[in-house]
Structure 1
Amino acid sequence: MKKTLLPPNQNGFIKRPLSLVHYTKIMSEFCNGEKMEEAFAVFRMVKDYGVQMDEFVYAILVGGVCKRGDFEVAFQLLAEMEKKGIPSNVTYNTLINGLCKIGRTTDADHFAKRMMLMPGDDDVVVVYSTLLNGYAQEGNVNGILDIKRRSEEAGVVMDTVMCNILIKALFVVGAFRDAHAVYKGMVQQEMKMDLVANSVTYCTMIDGYCKLGRIDEALEIFDELRTTSFSSSVPCYNCIITGLCNTGMVDVATEVFIELCEKGMTLDLGIYMKLIKGIVKDNNSAPGVLNLIYRIEKLGLDGFDSMCNDAINLLCKRKFPVTASEVYMVARRNQSTLTSKTYYSIIKGLIGEGKIQLSQPFLCNLVKECGLVEPKASKVLLHYLCLKDINNALHFHNKMREKNVAITFPVSALRTLAKKGRAFAVYEVIMKAEDLPVMGVADYSIIIDGLCKEGHLLKGLDLCVFAEKKGIKLNIITHNSVINGLCRQGCLFEAFQIFDSLERIDLIPSTITYATLIDSVCKEGHLLDAKQLFERMVLNGHEVNTRIYNSLLNGYCKFGKVEESLKIVDSIEMKCLDPDEFTVSAMLNGYCQKGDMEGALRFIFEYKGKDLSPDFLGFLHLIRGLCSKGRMEEARSILREMLQSQSVLELIKMVDAEVETESIESFLGFLCEQGSIREAATVLNEVASMFFPVQKCSGLYTKSIEPHKLPETEASGVVVPGAVSSSDRSDADCASCSVVNVGNMVGNSSYSCKQSHFNDFDSYYSVIASLCSRGELWEANRLVKKMVASLDGDC
C-alpha cells in the first residue's frame, strides 16, 4: 500500500510522504466511489506517519459512512475528533445532513444542539435549514414548530434557501397563512436585495396550496409568477397542472399545459400523462384527450410521437379503443412513429370491444411495419384468427412453429370464445394444439362450463381429465358446471354421485351446488328428495335465497300441491326474502293445476296490492286455466293486464325481432278486443314454445299429476337413471350419456361413477324427438336401434 501511494525516487526508494492535502483528495475519491475500506486504509496509514489530521479529513470519512448508513462508525469518528480537540463544525453538518436524509431528524437535532454550544455560528442557517427540511420530510409537526421557535429566539437571519424550506415546513403543519407571510416578506424585500423569491419559492407555494386543496390561492401565486423572470419555470407549471388535475379542473389544466407548450420549453411527459389521465377520469370519456391531441398537433412539438403513443395506450387501457384509433389517425397524418405496443393495444382493445372488423386495418399495418417475427404481431394475429376462424388459427399456429417462432394461443381469446357459445371450438384447439398457454383453474372452469351449457357434456368431462393430468386441481365452481350439465342432460344419477364424492376430494358443496340439484329433482317431480336435500343444505349452514325457494315452489305447484306451496311462500316472507315474478307465476300454475281458479284470482290480486305481477308464464297459466273453465271474460281481463306488463312486452318484442310478421302485440290486442281469447291463448302458446319449450301444452287443466319418489340406491340420496324423464336434453351427448363411464373422466377424483343406462321409453322418446326436430335423423335412427335392443334385453 505504501509503495502505491508514495512516489518513489529514481532508485525505487520512498523519498518523502505526500502532503495531507493529497491524502485528503485520495480519501475523498475513495469515499465518492463507496470504497470505504480503501479510504480507511489510507486514513490509518497517514496516522502511522504521525501526520496531524484536520477537520476536513474527518468530515470526508463521516460523509462516506453516512452514505453507507453506518452511523456507529460516524459517531466513533466524531468522538475521536472531540477527544483530540479538532474543530468539528463541518463534520457536525455532514452528520446532521446524513441523519436527516434517512429520517433520523430527531437524532440529528441532538447533535445540532451540541454544535450550537461550540464557538462560531457561521453554519447556523445551514443547520436550521437542514433540520427544517428533515422534519418536513417526516411530517413531524412538533419538530418543525420547535425549530421555528429556536431560530426566531436565536435571531437567525434567514437566506432564500432557508425561507423556501420554512415555507415548505409551514405548509406541512397546515400553517399556510404563516407560509404566505414569509413569501410576502421575501417579495417585499426583493427591492432591497436582502432576499430574492426564486422559482423554488413559487413552486413551493403553489405545491403547498395545491396539496391543501386551496387551488384558488395556488392560481393567484401562479399569476404572480407569470409577471416575474421565472415565468417559464417548468416545475411551477407542473405543480399547478398537477393540482388542477387533482381537484378536477382538467379544463383549466389543459389551458395551462397548452400555454407551457407554446413557450417552447422542454416538456415533462410525466405531467402530460397526468393531464390525460385526469381528462379521462374527470369526464369518464375520451373526447377530451382527442381534442388535446388536435391542439398539440398544431404546435408541431418534438415529443408529439411519444404523446400519441402514450395517449393511445392509456385510452386502450381505459376501454376507449375507438377514440384511440382516432388518435392513431392523427399520428399517421403527421407521419409519427408508432410502436408495436401501440398497435397491439389498439387491436386488442377493439377485439375486446367486439369490433373485430374494425381491427383488421390496424392488424395489416402492424404486420407490414413489424413483421410476424415481432412477438406482439404474431400474438395478436393469432388472437384475431381464433375469433374469426379457429381452423385458420390452428394452421397459422402450426406454420409459425415450423419457423421456430415461439407462439401460444392467447388465453383471453379462448375465454372469449367459450363465453360466446363456441366452447366446442376451444375444446378442439386445446386437444389439437401441441403448444398450449399456461391456463389456470379459472380458465378451465370457463371452458368446461361453456361445453356443458352447449350440450357437449362428454367433451366437458374429457377436459376435466385433461386439466387434472396437467396438474390443475378443479374447484367447486368446475364441479358445479359438470353437475349442472349432467342435470340438464337428465343424468341425475351421475350428478348425485359427483355430489356425494365431493367430501372425499376436500371440496365443500356451495349454495349453487345445492340450488342446481334441488331445481333438477323438483323438475323431475322428486319432491321428497328435494325437501331432504334442502334440509341438508340448511343444516350445513348455507343461506337459502328466493331462487331456491322458487325451485321448491315450482316443483310442488307443478303437481297441484297448493297447501305445501303456500307454506313455502310463508317461509319466503318469514326469512325476510322478497318474492318475485316467478314466485307468483309458480303459485298461479299450482292453483290452475288443481282447478282452483278462485284461489288463483285471489292470489294474483293479493300480490298486485304488493306491486308484484306474474311473468309471461304466470299470465299464460291463468289465461289457460280460466279458458278451461269457460270464464272467458275474466280471461279477457287478465289478457289486457298481461299486454300492459313491461316484462311481457319485452318478450313479445324479441319475437317480433326474430319473426318477420306483423306486430304480435297489436295482433293480440286485436284478438282481445274481438273476444277471441282461445285464439289469443294459441298465439301465446306459440310464443311460450319459443322461449320455454317444455311449457307448450294443450292448455287444458283436467287433472293433477302425482309426484313420484326417487328409487333408493346403495348411496343415500342418489337417483336411479331409469326414473328420470327429462325434457332438457339438448344434443347427441345426451343420448351418449347412457353409455358414459364417468369414472374414466377423472380417475380417483369426484367423477368415479358407474355406467348409466336409459331403461324407459319416455327417456328415449324425449331425446329422439329432440334429434328429429333438428334434422339429425341418422343419430335418431341409431338411438332407436339402441332402444329396441335395450327393451329386448340385449343392451
Structure 2
Amino acid sequence: MAAMLSFSPHLSNTQTPRNDQNPHNFLPYSQHIPPAKTTNRKPTPISCFSNSSESSSKRDDIWEKKKEGFVDYDKGKYRVTTQLSGLGKDDIPKRYRLRVDGDPRQRDWKISEVVERILKLKHWEDIEGVLNRWAGRFARKNFPVLVREITQAGSLEHGVQVFRWMKNQKNYCARNDIYNMMIRLHARHNRVDQARGLFFEMQEWRCKPDAETYNALINAHGRAGQWRWAMNIMDDMLRAAIPPSRSTYNNLINACGSAGHWKEALIVCKKMTDNGVGPDLVTHNIVLSAFKTGAQYSKALSYFELMKGTKIRHDTVTLNIVIHCLVKLGRYEEAVDVFNSMREKRAECRPDIVTFTSIIHAYSVCGQIENCKAVFDVMLAEGFKPNIVTFNALIGAYASHGMHEDALGVFNLLKGSGFRPDVVSYTSLLNAYGRSGRPEKARNIFDMMKRNSWKPNLVSYNALIDAYGSEGLLDEAVQVFREMERDGIQPNIVTICTLLAACGRCDQRVKIETILSAADSRGIKLNTVAYNSAIGSYLSVGEFDKALSLYRCMREKGAKPDSVTFNVLISGSCKMGKYGESLKFLEEMIDLKIPLSKEVYSSAIYAYSKQGQLAEAESIFTMMKSVSCSPDVITYTTMMHAYSAAENWEKAFALFQDMEMNDIQPDSIACSSLMKAFNRGSQPARVLLLAELMREKSIAFNEASIFEMISACSMLRDWRTTIELIEKVEPSFLELSLGLLNQLLHFLGKSGKVESMMKLFFKIVASGVEINFGTYSILLKNLLAAGKWRKYIEVLNWMEDSGIQPSLEMYRKVFSHACKDNSTEYTALIQEKIGVPHRAGIAAQG
C-alpha cells in the first residue's frame, strides 16, 4: 500500500477539504482503508488536509513550504518532497479564471510542480510551453516566488529562460527582489558581465538598486576575482547614498581576500569598523581566509588569538582555517591538538568533513601515512560520508610514498562509493605508480583517464613525465612532453625541472642544453629550482665548466641562489675531486648570509678532510652545533670518515659514542666508517665487537662493513669468524660485488684454507655471479702457494672453458712444478701452451 502524506503545522487531518481545495479529489483517510482480503491492489495515496473557512487567497500558508511523502509499503519505497502551493486558479481574477476553464490544456499546478517540470526539461526545449499552461501565471505574486525557487535550484539556463518569459507577461511588474535573485544566480556561475547587464537593465525598468543589489553585484565580481571592480561598486553604492550593510562589507572583504590581496581586505575591515558596522563571525572567518589565501599563515594565527579576546566565538570553519595554517607552517602536532579538541564530547565546534580531510593531508605531509588511514576510518566510524576531496587526499597520501597498491584500493573504494573519479583522482594514482618505479602502469592510468572523458591537466602530464624520467627513460619523457603540447597544454617551469632532473639521471649532457633551449623558446623563465636542476644535471655528467657557467648566468639574470644551489655545487665539486672549488662556494655562501643546511655542512667537512685540513673540518662541525643545526647521521658519518683518513680512531670512536648519546641511530654506513678507522688504527678486535653491536641493534651489514670485518679477521688470523661470516652472506651473493667475493677467496687462500676457498668458489659460481680474470688469479696464486699444482692446471682448464684466456705467466709458474714431479703429460701440455721446444723442456727437467 502506498500513501501520500502532507505535513503542515497549520493544518488538521481530521476533516475532508472542499473539492476546490482538493484538485486530486482525494477521499478522507478512513475511506482509503482497504478490505480485509484484497489482492493485487494498486498503491493508494493518503493525504491529510485542513478545513478552512477562509478563501485560499487569504490563507497565510500558501507561501509556506510543506513536506509531502509518498510511501509504497508493498515495494518498500518512499519519497519525501517539499511542496510550495502559491496562488492557484481559485485565487486569480475572475476574467482569467474563465479563460483557464475554457482551455482544457490549462493546469492548476503548484509552484513546486511548475519548477519540477521546468527542471526536467533541457534548456533548449519548450519551457515557455510549460509556463503558458500554468494557471498561476495570471497571479503577479507568484512571479518572485517562482524565480526564487528556480534560482535556488541553481540552473542558470532554466532561470534565464523563465525570467525572459516573465518579462513578456502583461501582468509582470519589475521588482528589485527578482533582479537581485537573478544577479546572484549569475554570480554563482561566474557570469559577471551578465550580472552587470542586469544591474543596468533594472534601472531602465525604473527599479532603483538597493543594498541587496549592490551586495549581489559585489559578490559576483568577488567570485570572478575582480576585486577592483568590487571596490568601485562599493564607491558607487556610497555615492547613491545607500548605506553598506555588514553583508556588503563581508562580500567586499571576501572579494579582496580571495584574490590574495589580504592587505586591501584589512583596509576594508578597518573602514567597516570606523563606519560603525561591527564585524561578526563571518567577517572574522573571511579575514582568516584572506590570510590563508595570501600565504600569511603566521598572521592568520595571530589574528585568531586576537579573535579569542572578542565576544564572538569561533566555529568549525574558523578552526578548519587554523588547522590549515598550522599544517602549512609545519606545526603538525598543534594541528592535531586542535583536531582532538574539536572531537571532545563537550566541544562546541564539532569537526566536519573538511576538518578530517585537512588532518589526513597533515599526516600525509609529515610522512605518517598509517595515521592517514586511521583518521579516515575514524571519520567513517563517526558517521561522516567522505567526499571526493577526502578520497583524493588519501590517494595522494599513498601516492607521495609510492604505495600504489594502497592508492589503488582507495581509488576502487571511491568508485564503489558512487563517486566518479576526477582528474585529481587519476593523477594521484598515476603519481603513485610513477613513484613506485612503474612508469608503464602510470601510462595505463593516464590513458584510462582519457578514455573516461577526462582531459589530463598540466599536473597530470608532469607526473607522467616524472614517472618516465625517474626510471631513466628520457626518450619516453620527451615524447610525453611533445604529446602535452599537441594537446594544447603549455609546459611550465615544473615540466622543465622534471626533464632536467631526468637528464642528470640518464647521463644525457646534450639533452640538457636542448631542454634549456626549449624553455627559452617557449618563454619559460628559469627560476631557482630550475637552475638547481640544470646545474645538478651538468655536475652529474661531469660537466663542471658548464655547471659553473650556468651558475654565473643564474646570478646575472637575478635568480637568487639558495642553500640547495650551493649544496649542489659543493657536493658536485667534491664528487669530481674539485675540493678547492667546493670550499670557495662555501665561502661565497657564507658571504651571502645564506643559512647552511645539514647537507652543506656534511659536504664542507668532506672537502676539508680530503684536503687534509682536519682542524677546519672539526671547526665546521663545531660551528654546526653552535648554530642549533643538529648534526644528523650523515654529518657524523662524514666526520668519522675524516678521522679515519687521519688514522685517528680514538676521535672517531668518541664521535660514535656522542652520536648514540644524542639519540641518533647509527646506520650501516656509519658503522663501516668506524670499522675502517679501527682497522687503520690497528684495532681489529674492536671491529668484531662493533659487528656484534650491529647484530644487537639489527643494523644491516653492507659491503663496506663486511669488507672491514674480513680485513679485521685477516689481521687477527681468525678464520673461524670468516667462515661464519661467509655462511651468513651466502644467500646474498648476487647482491655483493665481485671485489668483495674475491676478497673472501683471497683471505681463505692466504689463511691456508684452500679447500674452503674452493668450496666458496663453487658456491659463487652456482649463485650465478660472473667470474672474472681476477677471481681465477686469486685461486691460482693460493693453489700454487699450497703446492696444489695439479689443481692449478685444472683451474686453468676451467678458465679456458669459461672463455677467459690465461696469461703465459700463469703457465710458466706451474711449468717448473710439473717438471720437478716428472709429469711428462702435463709438461708437454704446458709446453704447447707457452710455445717451449721439447728439447728445452728436457733440459729444464735435467
TM superposition score category, shorter chain reference: 0.3 to 0.5
* TM superposition score normalised by structure 2: 0.39
Higher relative contact order (CA 8 A, sep 6+): 1
* TM superposition score normalised by structure 1: 0.41
